Each structure stands twice: as structure tokens, then as C-alpha cells.
A and B are shown apart, each in its own frame.
Chain A
Amino acid sequence: MADIVLDKVSKSFPDGTVAVQDVDLEIADGEFVILVGPSGCGKSTTLNMIAGLEDISSGELRIAGQRVNDKAPRDRDIAMVFQSYALYPNMTVRENMAFPLRLAKLDKETINAKVDEAAKVLELTSLLDRKPANLSGGQRQRVAMGRAIVRQPKAFLMDEPLSNLDAKLRVQMRTVVSRLQKQLGTTTVYVTHDQTEAMTLGDRVVIMRGGAVQQVGPPQELYDHPRNLFVAGFIGSPSMNFLHAAVQDGSLRTALGDVPLGDRVRRELEAADAPRELILGIRPEHFEDAELIDDDTRRRGLEFDAPVEIVESMGSDKYVYFTVEGERASAAELEELAADAGSADFAGAGGNLVTRLSAESPVAEGQSRRVWFNLEKIHLFDPGTGRNLTLHEGRAAGALAD
């Protein structure tokens, strides 16, 4: 058990390419931290540097208070689970799990006892004599986990361990990983590109983009108080809606109508270098069918009419897609997010508005519908820097904040 500290850790190549830039991160003993971001954001490189599979160009890496920059992977006492599972095909499940123990020169009985125990935890006991080739994907994944936990290392590193599983199994294994980590209480760094995994698994989530850390915090905090456009768009499924907003006479002109501004945001926008155009972000669940809300709620938001394109009924509620006219929101971050998600999945910046309405709403495709949205939950972003202007001392306060 140990804490892991990254102190201005960078990875650059002699030709000047920078893969990871000045990452500062303190991972407490027993904490479960997720590194998440689109492909190429440096999360895997960061993990490999912690593992010792890649050199650290500058900065310092400490495990349990000890500087380990120059230590070989074997001397760091950490275990890793690979995306491909990396099971040794020439060894049985038992031999695979025993491999790190045999390398550590433990005696036979101890090895057997430890392997049996780990196998029991992961329900692998009946498979111990099989070769990896004869296992299903989920079983292989568990063997890979077993090989990691069997020697009780200081920390676990997991490199997208669930991404080769089918959707159903992935959800199952997510809980297995989570339970296991809580049971063992071992410091864990987990890399994924899937924001759902990041939200559900970690104590804290580190969002990376282009080799730099964007924001670190508990999942809910990232969700509610994104520091910038990238974090806001990356976290959440379906993702946040983004609309173009023009600053005009102390309010914002958007496709959903004119949004009034509170004092604090207005003051900020009065600065000489303040942007004249903004991006307005609002999550699907902050919309509601205008018929279904009481007056008290109504006062805190705005209403607009729009044609209904698609209704997806989830039972508990309805996802309703509206077509909205007007200029599209554009920013480098949004394009990057769309590219990463495969633009079809990332509706955030398109002409579509994704809303989550109550199941009771009688909304139907092809109609026009009056919809309310909550002004207190709006985020405003500077398209140039991506900064969240509604954030005040780390808390988002909506457009009306004073």
C-alpha cells in the first residue's frame, strides 16, 4: 500500500514532441483514480511512466514517498492489467497467476495458497488448469486481474482493462473491479477513454487532453462544475448541449431565446478583453416539458417552442431531440470531442438539442412542443480559451448568479 505522487512529470521526445506535460497529481493511499481522455491525450503514457515502462523526461515520481524515476518496473512493486490482458499463452491459468510469485522466489506452498485464494475471489478455481486460449474474454480478463492481485503489490495500474469486453460483460466487470478495489484497499490508477467507466468507478477522475491535466476531482464535481468546455463536453452521456450565444445589451441572444445575465457574469463580460460571443452549455436533464412544472420552478428558467424530431422513451423518462435554428457553437474543443466520439454520438455541437423530459410528458414526434430550461444550471464558456465563466470559486452558479 502506498501513495503515488507525480510532481511536474513530463514526457517529451528528443524531436520536441511532448506527450505529457507537467502533470501534478497526488494519489492517496488506497485511492481509486481514473485517468480519462480521448485517445492521444497522454493518459496511457502517464500510466506507463508510473509503471516504469517508459522513461520520465522531467519531473519526479514518488511511490510511498520514495523517488522511483530510475527504478526498473520490477523494483517498483506495482502490478499492471493490460488492455490485451497479456496472458502468457504457454502457461496455464495457475502458472500465469503464479508467475510474479515465482519470480519473487516464494516457496511453492505459499505460491499455491496465494493463487488459490486469488482464484477464489475471482471465481477462477475451476479454470486453473486451462490455457488462456480456452477461456472466454471475461475469464481472461479475470485471470489478468488475478495475476495482478496475487502478489499484493503497492498499487494496481490498469490500462483500459475492460475495453475488449462486450457491453454487458463490461458493466458486470465494472462492479467486480470496483468491489475488488474496495476489498483490497490498494491504490489504483485506472486508464480509460470511456467517461461512463470514469464516472462510475473512481474516487477521483483526472481528465486529460493533449498531454495536460484539465481537471481533477470526484466524478460528481466534474459533472456539476466543469472547469472548461472540454471537461463539460467530455463528461456526461448524452453529452451537454452547446449553443452559440451573442452578448447583447447585458443579455445573451441564443437560439432558445434571450438569456438574462446575473450581475457577476455581466461584470465579467464588461471587461475590455471579454469575448463578445460565448458558448452556452446546458445538460439534457435541465430541460422539462413546460406543462409539467409548477410556477415556482417556472420562474427560475426560460421557455421556448421547438419542433420535436425524435422521442426515445426510456421508461423512467424520455429523451427528446429537438431541432433548433441558429448559428452553431464552434470551438476547437468541441471539434475534438466530436472527432473522438465519432460525430454521430456527439450531438452537443450540432443543430440538435437533446433533452431529458419526464415520462409523463405527452410529447410526440413531428409536433412542436413548449419546453422549459433551468437558467441556474447553465454554463457559459469562452470559445477562445474554453474557460467556464459561470464558475466562481470552483462552483458553477448558472447565468443568473449575483
Chain B
Amino acid sequence: MAVETTTRAKLRWGLLDVLVVVFALIPVLWIASLSFKTPATLTDGKFFPREWTLDNYKTIFETDQFVRALINSIGIALIATLVAVVLGAMAAYAISRLDFPGKGLLVGVSLLIAMFPQVSLVSPLFEIERQLGLFDTWPGLILPYITFALPLAIYTLSAFFKQIPWDLEKAAKMDGATQAQAFRRVIAPLAAPGLFTTAILVFIFCWNDFLFAISLTSTERSRTVPAALSFFTGASQFEDPTGAICAAAVVITVPIILFVLFFQRRIVSGLTSGAVKG
């Protein structure tokens, strides 16, 4: 009896699981499927390709437009992530371990920014960046990315830092460690997972942005892939860009899938502890 009910419960849960997985994956599989279709079968309306080809991928990697955008995307997201995590870690350390007036204000301000309507910044930033010569440059995108990634970084990192048993530092000193050794060999290894998780979340945020990317860029010089996608025309003006767009879309989805596959646990813990989306 008991065995039977648990099997049935398992079946029921399994069914729900399948539902979730299918729901989550269909759009991704669909765009991947499109990217492998030949131009002839592209408009057959079938979910899975009848003829497979890699031509779409060849095409995009041969066009400067995409390669350039990919480099921009990677470079801008990496730099913004690096800076946001370093600045965020400093602030989060202070918030989680030190007592100083203005702490509540900082947390409040970063919370406000997390909820800030980004489009409200587009007009003034557009004008300010044009005046400063930052328009259509890497820093022109990196700056707003850092700003909107910082609340996420600060929240997630404070939550992680609060869990570190800082007493270990004392223990390390008793064991004969210098201040630097205690940090390097005891505290740093414990803080690393939190920093890494935060970096992933921040990277996903920067990688994802579209509004700033199309508003604050105008050429291939700094246009990132999401923005470039909407300007995509394929190899020549007269070709249907669908296949190329899908291939490019799949390319920028790959890192996300990899992150999710390998670091699912960490991403979940990071998102739920910080409880903030950028």
C-alpha cells in the first residue's frame, strides 16, 4: 500500500516535472531548430528540421557585424562584471561586517536602483554620453551596467559574507598565520564561491541587456549581440535573415545554458539569498 502510493506520487511529480521541462525548453529548442534549417525548409512550419545544415553558423561567423558584436558583448559584460563584483564585494564586506552610519542608506539606495525604470535613464544618459564622448563606446555601456549590477552584487555578496565564520581568522592567527596568510588560506577560499556565484549572476544580467545596448550605441563599434540581432540583415540585403538571427541567438544562449547546467545549485542559492534581480 505504502509502496504503491509513493510510486503513484512519484509518477505524479514526474509528470509535473516533464511539464515544466517542456514548457521551459520549447522556445529554446525551437530557435535552435530554426538555426539548423536550410533556407528551403525554413518556412515549412515544422518544429524539427527535415534537412540539417550549419550554413547559418558559417554565415554569421563570416560577417563582421556578428563577430564584432560578439566581441563587444563578451568584453563589455566581462569588464562590467569584474568591476561590479570588486566594488560590490567591498561594499558588501562593509555592510556585513562593519558598523557605520549611512549603512542603511546605502542598502536603501541600491534597492531603489534595483527597481529603477531603466528607460528613465536612457534620455539623460544619451545626452550626457554624447557630450562626454562616451556615446557608442564600451565605457558608455559598461557604466550603466555596473550601476544596475551593483545592487544585485551587493545583496548577494552580503548574504554570502554573513555566512562566513569569521572566527576562523582568529583560529588561523593562533595557528601561526599572519594577517595576509589568514586571509589567503582561510577566508578567501570560503568567500570564493560567493564571489563566483555573484559574478555569474552579474554576467547574465549584463549579457542580457537590450535597452541600453540599442539606445547608447549606434555602430558596430560597441553594439552588443542582442542589439545587433535587431539590425541583422544576413549576408546580403536580399537574403532572409531568419536563419542567421537564430544562429546568432543560439550562440549567445550557449554560455547561459552552460552556466545553468554547471552551476544550477549556486545560481539558485545566489538568487534566493540575495532575492534581487538586477
Q: Which residues of chain A have a CB within 8 Å of any CB of chain B?
A: 51-53, 72-74, 78-80, 82, 84, 86, 88-90, 99-100, 103-104, 147, 151, 157
Contacts and interface: CB of A to CB of B under 8 A. Distances in A.
Interface centre among B171, B175, B185, B190 (most CB of A within 10 A): B175
A103 B176 contact: yes
Contacts of B172: 88, 99
Given A88-B186, A90-B190, A79 B174 contact: yes
A269 to B, nearest CB: 51
Given A88-B186, A89-B190, A90-B189, A82 B170 contact: yes
A103 B175 contact: yes
Contact of A86 (B171, B176, B178): B171
B177 interface: yes
17 contacts: A53-B170, A73-B173, A73-B176, A74-B177, A74-B178, A79-B175, A82-B167, A82-B171, A84-B165, A84-B167, A86-B165, A86-B170, A88-B186, A90-B189, A103-B181, A104-B176, A157-B174
Given A86-B165, A90-B189, A74 B176 contact: yes
B167 A53 contact: no
A84 B174 CA distance: 14
Contacts of A104: 176
B187 to A, nearest CB: 10
B256 interface: no
B150 to A, nearest CB: 28
Nearest to A150: B175
Nearest to B174: A80
Contacts of B257: none
A79 B189 CA distance: 23
Contacts of A79: 174-175
Contacts of A103: 175-177, 181
B168 interface: yes
A86 B168 contact: yes
Nearest to B173: A73
B186 A100 contact: no
> Which 7 residue pairs spanning A and B have beta carbons closest together?
A86-B171, A100-B175, A80-B174, A103-B176, A74-B176, A73-B173, A90-B189
B173 A72 contact: yes
A157 B190 CA distance: 26
A111 to B, nearest CB: 13
Contacts of B189: 90
Nearest to B178: A74
Nearest to B167: A86
Given A80-B170, A82-B171, 20 more contacts: A52-B173, A53-B170, A53-B173, A72-B178, A74-B173, A74-B175, A78-B174, A80-B171, A86-B165, A86-B168, A88-B186, A89-B190, A99-B175, A99-B185, A100-B175, A100-B176, A103-B176, A103-B177, A103-B181, A147-B175
Nearest to B175: A100
Contacts of B185: 99
Contacts of A147: 175
Nearest to B192: A90
B36 to A, nearest CB: 44
Given A84-B165, A84-B167, A86-B165, A51 B177 contact: no
Contacts of B174: 51, 53, 73-74, 78-80, 157
Contact of A88 (B168, B170, B176, B181): B168
Interface in B172-205: 172-178, 181, 185-186, 189-190
A72 B189 CA distance: 24
Nearest to A103: B176
A51 to B, nearest CB: 6
Nearest to A157: B174
A100 B178 CA distance: 11
